[in-house]
Structure 1
Amino acid sequence: MGEMFTPKPLSRAIVFALAAGGIPTIGLAQDEPETMQAIEVIGVTPTLGVGLPEDKIPYNVQSADDEDLDRTKSLDITDYMNRNFAGVIVNDAVNNPLQPDIQYRGFTASPLLGLPQGLAVYQNSVRVNEVFGDTINWDLIPESSIANMNLVGGANPLYGLNTLGGAIALETKNGFTHPGHSLEVYGGSYERYVTTVESGGNNGTWGYYTTFQYFDEEGWRDASPSDSLNLFTALSYRDGNTTSLDLNFNYADTDLIGNGAIPIELAQRDRSAIFTSPDQTKNEMFFLDLEGEHWLNDVTQISGNIFYRDNDTNAFNGDGSEYDECDSDPTVLCEEDEPTDPIEDQNGNEIAVDGGNGERNGLQNRSTRDQENYGFSLQTAFFNDLFNRDNQLIIGGGYNAGEVDFMASSEVARLTPQRSTIGSGLFVPEEGTFINSEVESWSLYVTDTLSLTEKLDLTLSARYNHTNVKLNDRGGTDAAGHTVAEPDLNGDHDFDRINPAIGLTYAIRDNLSTYASYSESSRAPTAVELACADEDAPCSLPNGFLADPPLEQVVAKSFEGGFRGSFRNIGMMDVLNWQVGAFHTTNEDDIIFQTTGGVSSNQGFFNNVGDTERVGMELGLNGVVERLNWFMNYSYVSATYEDPFSSNSANNPAADSNGKIQVQPGDHIPGIPEHTFKVGGDFAVTPKLSLGADLLYKSGVYLRGDESNQLGKLDDYVTVDLRGEYQINKMFSVFALVNNVFDEDYESFGLLGEPDEVPGFDNFEDARFVGVGAPRSAYIGARMQF
């Protein structure tokens, strides 16, 4: 971690974290042994060089740096958060290690379209939630480039849109903070091989850093190979402690197969089996970001950034058919809910059930998303005293524009005995989509932190957001170049809101403090939600959109409070840091995806369903006992619906004749565990040999599609990971790790579907599909650094 710069006249100044054109991330410093630790501001807009002591932050912050990631041998940042951060869990919805469905406090950051995204993710100064659905492609963030990672809880408005449950802020490395060179390779189970190369340096004024990371594996599931290539480089300039500039460039090219959930009856026979395949996602991204800061004088700093990001996504999904024999003519195909209306191909001909080489019982759904976004931010920080009290005022604003071209097609296909698909060359034009979406957001924000007394600090903040979403249905042709229906997806939507926040912190003594805050944040409906919001015209995600009625923006109102402290030399304990806190967040006009059917419940529409609530607590402990560094985290989350509504769930066995279930206030939101417990540590056996382990417990969850909680939960589970490292000399080290050492069979995710619609599963009666957890795996590797 690099040195913090604090001008001498500002030794008592504090900086409140700003994002989205104003929020530095927050990382715990390691050199405050007898008082509350200092929080290092990480320059997310960037406000490099100034910091806020931990006991002045009115919300919970969890942090890690590159040394933590290296020590735990995490595959990526999501793997680390899942094993170490309180309240963070991974759902194996896609079942690819680089496509995790991350949840924190019951809010989601996932690559899956259709999930309500409630976490904002920043890489340096840029929010990297995708333009189309606010999704997060974790495979585009190379773990080796990360210098610091911070998870900030609560609906803090300064982090901009989507910060309903919190924000994840990442700072990348540069040649001043991370000089040196290294090569790391490891491999093992399921033919996984990972190679990482890093190099950095500086001459005092100019610095460079670059890293290359390549991942390749066959996967533990059948027919599930994946590979990813990531390149990150930074060119940096420093003019003493006055001016800094960083030009960062990311390139990623990934090809991932995540064959998703399988019927629970199939999981009981063969956990590595797949239902239908392939489910392939390819991403190619270019990302350029220029950020800088300059001290005008001892009490005034300006900072800003400008960026451009382009991500092209191509998806190919082999699925079971949504068509069946027509009642009027069993030799041709009809929609299941319109059995007398034959479907037609791109040439206007009815599509036969049998193409001569087998029944057409599958679909090949293709989609492309060409996403561009660009923007800038600018802020000024003032550190003048107010009423002879320490005070810090920050004023800023930002602009973000994005454009997406989305094209999709649906090709009638035949399922093989292995349930992969073979295309027929016959497309269904009505399922084809070609739309353009333009999104513009601009914001103004202000925050002021005033020391009312030597121990009591008050922070007041507000942010105004304006978002415009345009939908332009281009019609004409689909992704395969075939004629589709006339345009009907045009729309123009504006969303405005001022989100406030207030927080108080009180230093009870040097090593003990308390905090409390109230904050609001909002999420504008995304283009994918606005384009698929009509119950009478459901869509198939992510392949087609059929309607454009308005949705209300989601507003989160959050209360948070707690205590934290740090002690030394208590009995055998050399160091003990602790934190306990509680939170209460209400989402007004929450948006969910209501399924109307489909083999894997991917047909449906988005809808405002009223209020939802997340109430919980977090407990964190970590310490040092001689040669043992350890941690323990526990979290409790009760996530419930607060308003009654009728939910579409055609595959729920408890649904009525119209495919609906009745959700009542107090019913739990599916997919969110009430209890998670994590404990782990590393022990220095000798100065050269260290051994580590961590344990994760997660309570069971309700299945998506069972919002009324009538079908019970999945089972609780526990997994244990082991690791070890031996330092041969200053340059060379070797390491090994074993994941899920006891080979626990577990399911972290579930939904409802129609397994008997796919050949070979005609006798399957259980509608439950599950995301199966990975079995035991082992890896060995070596690292050279100089």
Structure 2
Amino acid sequence: MHSSKRKHIVVPLVLYCPLATFANTNPVAADDRLETVLVIGEQIKAALQAEQALTPGNVTVIDSADLYQRNIANLGDMLRYVPGIWTASGSTGDSTFFSSRGSNLDATNYDGNGIKLLQDGLPVTAADGNNHNRIMDPLGARYATIAQGANALTYGASTLGGAIDFTTPTARDTEPQIFLNDGSHGQLQGRVTTGLVAGAFDGLITIESKEWDGFRDHHQQERKGVYANAGWQFDDVVKTRFYFTYLDNDQELPGALTAEQFDENPYQAQPAAVIGHYQYNVETWRAANKTIFDINENSSLSVGFSYEDQTLYHPIVYSPFFSLLINTEQKNAGTSLRYNLHVNDHDLLAGINYGETTVDGGNYSHEAGRRKNMTTHVKNNADSLEIFLVDRWQIAPRWKLIYGVQAVSAGREVKNITVADGTLYNPGADYDSINPRAGVIYQFKSNNEAFANVSRLYEAPTNYELEDDSSPDNKALDAMHGSVIEIGARGKRPLGTHNKLHWEFSIYYAQLQDEILSIDNPTAPGTSLSTNVDDTIHAGIESLLGASFSLDANNNHRIEPLLSVTINEFSFDDDSHYGNNELPAAPGYALKGEILYRNSNGFFAGPTFDIIDERYADFSNTYTVDSYILLGLRTGFTHADWEVFGEVRNLTDKEYVSLFSVRDRAAPNAAILQAGEPRSVYVGMRLQF
């Protein structure tokens, strides 16, 4: 990768600034345009919150307008305050390890399974359930809805972790704007957004570029992207929207360190990563369409299609005896249908998701990141059909009964051919299940409600897990399945004239059978071995508490605290080998929060904190990764058409482990540790036209 050249960002921004200005040469006055954008944006947010209120479980809605007041470099930054989600980054710029309710806690965490990702309700996650190479840009979403666990039924998901749906901004809810972000470790990010609204037509395009040197050796990143969408309102009944995304992301990987190397210098690169020039280069383009038919005031139908092509070039293992470079092309095609009907006290939602994924390419040997001979030809296929029906029934003035069912039919086929001798490794299977769900919501008063649900979870293996199956024959892994019960509450409450409080709280307990877990293969480092585990328990508490308190009678000075609390209890359940050991990777608790002072003139400032419990790095619970506490500071100004921010992270310059590999029994000298971010300073500005 070439060294950073910031002109690569600045020049495109300068060239596209006139476009942003031109986009506002609109017969509608600027103030009227801004007011219209705000109204439409609030309408969309209100619709998402209405869906949240119809779900008898934990759902969090993120408004991207809040993200421009702090440094957002990856999904982990976006999901920082979402309870129940554990994120960690360290090896790469954009890539983030994320786990929801204990999903993905093993050596194949790179496949990102357990959480279904969608964009405007259309699938982004591959048909086999993996999120490998999914570079979702958090600033490319207008809103994000995080439905934990079985609460993602209305998205067609029954996965352990649930679903995240990213709502795309449009020219009708987004002002033309420029965003610049600079800071430590050579980070420089620029985005230009411009749009057009002309009667029934609207279009929006964002061009972005990012460069990052990284806080470790051999850690650089260069990314460029284009995000565009255009919509047409045919009449009062039919409207359609087309989406297009292109991303070109090149990253160097610094590799993992031993404890001794970490103590010596946590920001050095693994020697093999430098010699082997480990990289993670992904080029992706995606096109989609969604058409909505408002049949009448009580019913609507939406139909969507998406297609994605993705190329991966990934040197990842290098030694004198063995090297591995993955070079594949993945194609994903999906379709989605939703029908919503209101009949008396019933709100019915029926849906179908269908997806197909193919992966073609292979594993190669390499020399310093340059591809050499193919060792394994890879040609994998997957398909998935999800059908669901849910009824939100107002059975009494304060009571809603929510019940539904999902049917899953999925196919997996792995076809790996060893080039040297033609040996075929060909596990495959079909997976079918019926997954019911029932819940209840009690509304105390406006915006305050309690809920409970019991649901079935079901998750078929990814093709990555089938490739890593520890079984000596071609027998495929079983699907994970189990049941979960959840109770909780959410709401908003005014406290006097100027003060207010909001909260989300949930307790869940899941018993799982045949959970798929993997360990690092000791005979081939960098690869994994997967197997089904008889019984595991996933339980936890998820809580988000926020408030706004006025410090004076005129409400010019305010204090706004925010606290996200996640408590995890993930363990084996009387396992013949591991007993009741804890599952690795996720901490026992994670507390993240901030306390901001806000002035009516737009100024804000305050501290942030992270309090993270220790974690195990192996299933045997013999290797412990230490707990840590991080302190930070945020400040800035917000205005109607501009805002600036400054952020300091890790004020005390704490050296800590953010990310690590999972082993069966990790040796004291195992190279598994990756450092978190040292003391860092970031500034940013957004200007709207």
Which category of TM-score, normalised to the shorter sequence, fits these structures?
0.7 to 0.9
Corresponding residue for residue 22 of structure 2 = none
Structure 2 residue 645 is matched with structure 1 residue 702: no
In the TM superposition, what whole-angstrom CA distance separates every residue of 1:537-588 from its partner, at most 9, and x where no partner exists? Answer: xxxxxxxxxx632110111421111123322125x97001123220012222
Query: CA 1:111–1:196 in 2, change beyond 3 Å: closer, same or farther?
Result: farther
Query: CA 1:710–1:440 in 2, change beyond 3 Å: closer, same or farther?
Result: same
Query: CA 1:701–1:768 in 2, change beyond 3 Å: closer, same or farther?
Result: farther
In the TM superposition, what whole-angstrom CA distance separates every residue of 1:406-428 from its partner, at most 9, and x where no partner exists? Answer: 301234x6xxxxxxx588x985x
Structure 2 residue 684 is matched with structure 1 residue 770: no
SS of alignment partner, residue 396 of structure 2:
coil
The 1-side partners of 2:649 and 2:423 are apart by 50
Partner amino acid, structure 1, of 2:69: R
Offset of residue 80 of structure 1: 2.2
The 1-side partners of 2:549 and 2:119 are apart by 35
Corresponding residue for residue 609 of structure 1 = 533
Q: TM-score, normalised by structure 1?
A: 0.76
Offset of residue 608 of structure 1: 0.6
In the TM superposition, what whole-angstrom CA distance separates every residue of 1:114-146 from its partner, at most 9, and x where no partner exists? Answer: 6672111111122222356602435x2223321
SS of alignment partner, residue 609 of structure 1:
strand
The 2-side partners of 1:100 and 1:210 are apart by 26
Deviates more, 1:692-701 or 1:495-504: 692-701
Within 5 Å, give how 1:224-623 maps onto structure 2: 224-239=219-234, 242-275=237-270, 276-277=272-273, 278-321=277-320, 323=321, 363-385=322-344, 390-411=345-366, 421=368, 432-473=375-416, 483-536=419-472, 548-570=474-496, 574-598=499-523, 601-623=525-547
**Which consecutive residues of structure 1, in runs of 5 or more, have no partner in the other structure?**
1-28, 33-37, 43-50, 324-362, 414-420, 476-482, 537-546, 646-661, 757-763
Structure 2 residue 115 is matched with structure 1 residue 119: yes
Offset of residue 55 of structure 1: 4.5
Partner amino acid, structure 1, of 2:124: V
Offset of residue 473 of structure 1: 4.1
In the TM superposition, what whole-angstrom CA distance separates every residue of 1:179-201 from its partner, at most 9, and x where no partner exists? Answer: x2111222221211111111123
Corresponding residue for residue 717 of structure 1 = 628
Corresponding residue for residue 76 of structure 1 = 74
The 2-side partners of 1:99 and 1:748 are apart by 13
Within 5 Å, give how 1:216-227 maps onto structure 2: 216-227=211-222
Contact 2:130 2:462 in 1 (8 A): yes
Structure 2 residue 132 is matched with structure 1 residue 177: no
Structure 2 residue 163 is matched with structure 1 residue 167: yes
The 2-side partners of 1:692 and 1:210 are apart by 34
SS of alignment partner, residue 545 of structure 2:
strand
Query: CA 1:782–1:581 in 2, change beyond 3 Å: closer, same or farther?
Result: closer
Contact 1:114 1:593 in 2 (8 A): no
Query: CA 1:531–1:579 in 2, change beyond 3 Å: closer, same or farther?
Result: closer
In the TM superposition, what whole-angstrom CA distance separates every residue of 1:359-378 from its partner, at most 9, and x where no partner exists? Answer: xxxx4421112111112122
The 1-side partners of 2:67 and 2:372 are apart by 49
Q: Cα RMSD over matched residues?
A: 2.9
Partner amino acid, structure 2, of 1:187: D
Q: 1:88 aligns with which of 75, 85, 89?
A: 85
**Which consecutive residues of structure 2, in runs of 5 or more, have no partner in the other structure?**
1-39, 551-557
Offset of residue 283 of structure 1: 0.7
Offset of residue 54 of structure 1: 4.9
Contact 1:175 1:200 in 2 (8 A): yes
Corresponding residue for residue 624 of structure 1 = 548
Corresponding residue for residue 745 of structure 1 = 655
Query: CA 1:79–1:53 in 2, change beyond 3 Å: closer, same or farther?
Result: closer
Contact 2:232 2:240 in 1 (8 A): yes
Contact 1:530 1:549 in 2 (8 A): no
In the TM superposition, what whole-angstrom CA distance separates every residue of 1:368-406 from its partner, at most 9, and x where no partner exists? Answer: 121111121222221111xxxx11122232321111113
The 1-side partners of 2:544 and 2:443 are apart by 19
Offset of residue 750 of structure 1: 3.4
Query: CA 1:372–1:204 in 2, change beyond 3 Å: closer, same or farther?
Result: same
SS of alignment partner, residue 234 of structure 1:
strand
The 2-side partners of 1:54 and 1:625 are apart by 26
Offset of residue 765 of structure 1: 6.2
Per residue, is there more helix in 1 or in 2? 2
SS of alignment partner, residue 707 of structure 1:
coil
Structure 2 residue 196 is matched with structure 1 residue 206: no
Offset of residue 111 of structure 1: 12
Corresponding residue for residue 569 of structure 2 = 638
The 2-side partners of 1:305 and 1:687 are apart by 44
Query: CA 1:598–1:91 in 2, change beyond 3 Å: closer, same or farther?
Result: farther
Contact 1:109 1:119 in 2 (8 A): no
Query: CA 1:236–1:31 in 2, change beyond 3 Å: closer, same or farther?
Result: closer
Contact 1:455 1:507 in 2 (8 A): yes
Within 5 Å, give how 1:26-105 maps onto structure 2: 40-41=46-47, 52=50, 54-82=52-80, 84-92=81-89, 95-105=91-101
**Structure of larger gyration radius:** 1
The 2-side partners of 1:682 and 1:371 are apart by 44
Contact 1:101 1:110 in 2 (8 A): no
Query: CA 1:770–1:474 in 2, change beyond 3 Å: closer, same or farther?
Result: closer
Query: CA 1:426–1:396 in 2, change beyond 3 Å: closer, same or farther?
Result: closer
The 1-side partners of 2:413 and 2:435 are apart by 23
Query: CA 1:159–1:610 in 2, change beyond 3 Å: closer, same or farther?
Result: farther
SS of alignment partner, residue 583 of structure 1:
strand
SS of alignment partner, residue 236 of structure 1:
strand
Query: CA 1:726–1:597 in 2, change beyond 3 Å: closer, same or farther?
Result: same
In the TM superposition, what whole-angstrom CA distance separates every residue of 1:499-538 from its partner, at most 9, and x where no partner exists? Answer: 11111011133353210001123211222222331355xx
Query: CA 1:560–1:731 in 2, change beyond 3 Å: closer, same or farther?
Result: closer
The 2-side partners of 1:635 and 1:106 are apart by 11
Partner amino acid, structure 2, of 1:618: E
Partner amino acid, structure 1, of 2:378: I
Query: CA 1:406–1:708 in 2, change beyond 3 Å: closer, same or farther?
Result: same
SS of alignment partner, residue 464 of structure 2:
helix
SS of alignment partner, residue 58 of structure 1:
coil
Give the percent of matched residue pairs that are identical in Structure 1 and Structure 2: 20
Count residues with an aligned counterpart.
Answer: 637
SS of alignment partner, residue 246 of structure 2:
strand
Offset of residue 733 of structure 1: 4.3
The 1-side partners of 2:105 and 2:532 are apart by 19
SS of alignment partner, residue 611 of structure 1:
strand
Query: CA 1:161–1:533 in 2, change beyond 3 Å: closer, same or farther?
Result: farther
SS of alignment partner, residue 225 of structure 2:
strand
In the TM superposition, what whole-angstrom CA distance separates every residue of 1:590-620 from its partner, at most 9, and x where no partner exists? Answer: 1111333057x43442111112111111222
The 2-side partners of 1:235 and 1:672 are apart by 41
